[in-house]
Amino acid sequence: MVRKAKIGNKLWGKEVLDVVTLSNGWQVAKTEDTKSSQDFRVKIVSPRHPRGFTIKHAHFAIDFYGKLCQDRKKALKILEALEKVWHGRNVNKVLEKYESRARGSAGYSLEYYLYALRWILDQEDINFRGRSSNKQEELDEKLQKQGIKTPSRRAGSQLAIALFCDIASGVHPVEAFYSAGLSI
């Protein structure tokens, strides 16, 4: 039985701070975490994960690679939609514009991408503590190749967006993870 996440209830002992129910009945939940008073985790509650499962941008990066292999044009529309949300656009409005352009892609739905990654990217910004100027230049270059500009105060989540840009540029996900400094 799938447990429904509700604000104020607990998932894995952590209070649910916010929740979005997707059109397929899955729920994306934001729960408290411990890195700082503002920190949180993003979890999916679904038939496969009825008690909640912590989701990371790496899960979406792997799915994105599969989408690129299936239909590059549709996958790039997903990246474009993600950029819009990263820049603060309303998820529902972005979904209205891009849903038909991404429909038919294997794997995760655009709706799941946008709602989950909106919070995952926010979480990356909250936990960001800085990076070297060399690494920053490298990330800026990766985004520039894809025509993406980093919004102000989004330097933490820029690393995750750069991961998607690397994959869109033809870098294998494993190499993109290494380049980003993510252990897999």
Residue 19's pLDDT band, with cuts at 50, 70 and 90, is very high
Same domain membership, residue 172 and residue 104: yes
Residue 165, pLDDT above cutoff 70: yes
57 against 83, higher pLDDT: 83
Same domain membership, residue 168 and residue 149: yes
Residues of the domain holding 41: 10-54
Whether 98 is in a domain gets the answer yes
* 165 Cβ neighbours under 8 A, 6+ residues apart: 79, 142, 143, 145, 146, 148
Residue 75, pLDDT above cutoff 60: yes
Quick one: pLDDT at residue 134?
Answer: 93
Reading the block at residue 153, the tokens are 């105060």
Q: What mean pLDDT do residues 34-53 have? A: 86
Same domain membership, residue 93 and residue 139: yes
Whether 107 is in a domain gets the answer yes
Among 9-13, 82-86, 140-144, whose mean pLDDT is lowest?
A: 9-13
The CA distances from residue 150 to 1, 28, 73, 91, 154, in Å, are 41, 25, 22, 18, 7
Tell me what the pLDDT averaged over the chain comes to: 91
Same domain membership, residue 91 and residue 15: no
**What is the share, in percent, of the chain residues with pLDDT greater than 90?**
67
Number of helices (H), then strands (E), in the chain:
7, 5
**What is the share, in percent, of the chain residues with pLDDT greater than 70?**
97
Whether 44 is in a domain gets the answer yes
Same domain membership, residue 33 and residue 80: no
Same domain membership, residue 76 and residue 22: no
Quick one: pLDDT at residue 146?
Answer: 92
Same domain membership, residue 167 and residue 152: yes
Q: What mean pLDDT do residues 50-57 have? A: 87
Whether 3 is in a domain gets the answer no
- Rounded to two decimals, the pTM is 0.91
Quick one: pLDDT at residue 1?
Answer: 46
The 10s digit of each residue's pLDDT in 109-134 is 999 999 999 999 999 999 888 899 99
Whether 5 is in a domain gets the answer no
Same domain membership, residue 80 and residue 162: yes
Residue 183's pLDDT band, with cuts at 50, 70 and 90, is low
* 95 Cβ neighbours under 8 A, 6+ residues apart: 81, 110, 111, 114
Same domain membership, residue 143 and residue 108: yes
Same domain membership, residue 69 and residue 37: no
Whether 4 is in a domain gets the answer no
Count of domains observed in the chain: 2
18 against 1, higher pLDDT: 18
Residue 13's pLDDT band, with cuts at 50, 70 and 90, is confident
Same domain membership, residue 168 and residue 105: yes
Q: Which amino acid is at 114?
A: L
Domain end: 21, 37, 54, which one? 54
Whether 48 is in a domain gets the answer yes
Reading the block at residue 58, the tokens are 């790496």
Same domain membership, residue 76 and residue 43: no
- For residue 124, how many C-alpha atoms fall within 13 Å in the half-sphere facing its CB? 22
